[in-house]
């Protein structure tokens, strides 16, 4: 697979990157070589060469600076790519996209899922989403007047910087773009597209589904499954994610069941407490962050004692990995018993105390279909029993 996406050896100088492996290890430095089989990272301790099939993601150290102008058009392709661009035009069934750095690219208009010409407010975001999800046998021209959103069925025949030419019942109307919130295109059938082999986030806010990726002239040459090909400067890269299908975070999975039992009383008598002590996904209790040992984590679970959460795993995975501990917000308080089971077989049973350092968890879940996590009461009733399972994930 990687032979398709990384076809050339690359020498990269300049921007620093963090390289994370599937086993949770990471390296920081500059990428000095990259091909279909290996990546070499120049670290402070010297070069390290890694098998690219073990790679989870490559992330830029400096992700703060955008390289283009602010977006004025938001474009969704049929392959899941979301582009923030400066301009959008359609002529003779060809869509032309101009990015904030003035680079232009073209692709067939039939590969565009939707285009939006205005920013969304809280009042109209729901309406836009509802219209996007509608089944229709025609294009939809979505117009906005103040906070009122409406749509018309027809066919988009062209778009330029000031006008959308819209065929409504045989009459082609030149509609001013200032009145148009966006366009939702009729999906006539996308045809066969190459597989998405990695995802790329850039510093300007675009999210690319990538079917091919290579380096040339110190730039990334990438193509999307929908057929959009561009050349992007290396400093535009925020994150390249190779983990699709290899890593699944529990916070992204639907739960089969969740049960919380209070220390006193019955849970059905305490709806407010039941809501407060419900599991948190990618956030902690009373805060927007999961935090262990002064480090914030973007992904993970926060569970209060006594909570039992069960997942039915989506396929065959080999390992369950996480970093577990009492959240920094309540330490040194908190004491819980953590039990992790696979198909009713106990894989881990341990006590976690607020005075303890975070503990890495790495369990063999080969053949497991149901994963059960129980955070039970410890030695101090349920006071400050806020357990974080940071980066909780299943890995192939």
Q: In terms of domains, do 370 and 310 share one?
A: yes
For residue 193, is it within any domain? no
What share of the chain in percent tops pLDDT 90? 54
Per the listing, tokens 């929908």 go with 226
Q: What's the CATH number where 389 sits?
A: 2.60.120.1060
| Cα-trace Rg, the chain | 25
Contact of 143 with 181, CB cutoff 8 Å: yes
**For the segment 37-63, what is each residue's pLDDT rounded down to a tens digit?**
677 788 999 999 888 778 888 888 876
Estimate to the nearest angstrom the gap between the alpha carbon of 47 and the chain centroid.
30
Contact of 52 with 34, CB cutoff 8 Å: yes
Question: What mean pLDDT is reported for the chain?
Answer: 86
For residue 231, is it within any domain? yes
**For the segment 340-371, what is each residue's pLDDT rounded down to a tens digit?**
999 989 999 999 999 999 999 999 999 999 99
**For the segment 252-290, what is each residue's pLDDT rounded down to a tens digit?**
999 999 998 887 766 555 666 777 778 999 999 876 789
Q: In terms of domains, do 119 and 87 share one?
A: yes
Q: In terms of domains, do 40 and 120 share one?
A: no
Q: In terms of domains, do 101 and 158 share one?
A: yes
Give the three-class secondary structure for 376. Answer: strand
The average pLDDT across 157-170 equals: 95
For residue 196, is it within any domain? no
For residue 40, is it within any domain? yes
Query: What is the pLDDT at residue 298?
Result: 87
Parallel, antiparallel or unpaired: strands 386-395 and 139-145: unpaired
pTM of the model: 0.69
Query: What is the pLDDT at residue 7?
Result: 40
135-140: Cβ within 8 A, 24+ apart: 136/184, 136/186, 137/186, 138/186, 139/166, 139/183, 139/184, 139/185, 139/186, 140/183, 140/184, 140/186
Query: What is the pLDDT at residue 4?
Result: 43
Q: In terms of domains, do 281 and 370 share one?
A: yes
Q: In terms of domains, do 330 and 357 share one?
A: yes
Q: Give per-residue burial for 379-393: e unless 16+ CB within 10 Å, then b.
A: eeebebbbbbbbbbb
Per-residue pLDDT for 382 more than 70?
yes
What share of the chain in percent tops pLDDT 70? 90
Query: What is the pLDDT at residue 31?
Result: 76
For residue 323, is it within any domain? yes
Q: In terms of domains, do 377 and 270 share one?
A: yes
Lowest mean pLDDT among 64-73, 247-256, 351-360: 64-73
Q: In terms of domains, do 128 and 174 share one?
A: yes
Q: In terms of domains, do 215 and 290 share one?
A: no
**For the segment 85-141, what is each residue's pLDDT rounded down to a tens digit?**
999 999 988 999 999 888 999 999 999 999 999 998 888 888 999 999 888 999 999
Q: In terms of domains, do 26 and 94 share one?
A: no
Q: In terms of domains, do 271 and 362 share one?
A: yes
Q: Which domain holds residue 360?
A: 248-395
For residue 8, is it within any domain? yes
CA atoms within 13 A on the CB side of 314: 12
Query: What is the pLDDT at residue 218?
Result: 72
CA distance 150 to 299: 37
The average pLDDT across 202-227 equals: 86
For residue 253, is it within any domain? yes
Q: What's the CATH number where 54 sits?
A: 2.30.30.100
Look up residue 166 and give its two tokens.
Answer: 């819209």
Could you give the number of structural domains in the chain? 3
Provide the pLDDT confidence category of residue 2 given band limits of 50, 70 and 90. very low
For residue 198, is it within any domain? no
Parallel, antiparallel or unpaired: strands 198-202 and 237-241: antiparallel
Q: In terms of domains, do 234 and 284 share one?
A: no
């Amino acid at each position: 697979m990687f032979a398709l996406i990384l076809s050339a050896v690359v020498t990269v100088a300049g921007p620093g990157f963090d390289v994370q492996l599937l086993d949770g290890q990471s390296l920081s430095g500059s990428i000095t070589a990259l091909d279909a089989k290996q990546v070499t990272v120049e670290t402070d301790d010297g070069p390290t060469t890694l098998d690219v099939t073990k790679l989870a993601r490559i992330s830029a150290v400096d992700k703060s600076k955008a390289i283009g102008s602010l977006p004025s058009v938001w474009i969704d392709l049929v392959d899941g790519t979301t582009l923030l661009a400066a301009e959008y035009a359609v002529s003779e069934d060809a869509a032309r996209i101009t990015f904030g750095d003035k680079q232009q690219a073209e692709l067939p208009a039939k590969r565009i899922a939707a285009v939006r010409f205005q920013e969304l407010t809280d009042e109209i975001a729901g309406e836009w989403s509802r219209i996007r999800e509608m089944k229709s046998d025609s294009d939809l021209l979505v117009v906005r007047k103040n906070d009122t959103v409406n749509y018309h069925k027809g066919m988009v025949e062209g778009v330029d910087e000031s006008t959308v030419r819209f065929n409504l019942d045989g009459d082609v109307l030149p509609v001013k773009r200032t009145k148009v919130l966006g366009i939702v295109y009729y999906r006539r059938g996308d045809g066969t597209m190459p597989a998405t082999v990695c995802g790329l986030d850039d510093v300007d806010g675009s999210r690319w589904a990538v079917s091919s990726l290579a380096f040339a002239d110190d730039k990334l040459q990438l193509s999307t499954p929908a057929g959009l090909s561009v050349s992007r400067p290396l400093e535009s890269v925020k994150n390249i994610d190779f983990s699709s299908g290899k890593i699944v975070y529990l916070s992204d999975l639907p739960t089969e069941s969740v049960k919380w039992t209070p220390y006193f009383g019955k849970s059905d008598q305490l709806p407010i407490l039941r809501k407060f002590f419900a599991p948190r996904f990618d956030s902690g209790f009373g805060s927007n962050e999961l935090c262990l040992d002064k480090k914030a984590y973007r992904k993970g679970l926060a569970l209060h004692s006594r909570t039992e959460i069960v997942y039915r795993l989506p396929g065959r995975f080999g390992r369950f990995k996480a970093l577990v501990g009492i959240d920094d917000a309540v330490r040194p308080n908190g004491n819980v018993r953590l039990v992790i089971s696979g198909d009713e077989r106990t894989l881990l049973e341990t006590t976690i105390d607020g005075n303890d350092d975070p503990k890495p968890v790495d369990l063999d879940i080969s053949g497991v279909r149901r994963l059960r996590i129980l955070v039970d009461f410890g030695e101090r009733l349920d006071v400050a029993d806020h357990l974080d399972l940071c980066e909780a994930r299943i890995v192939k």
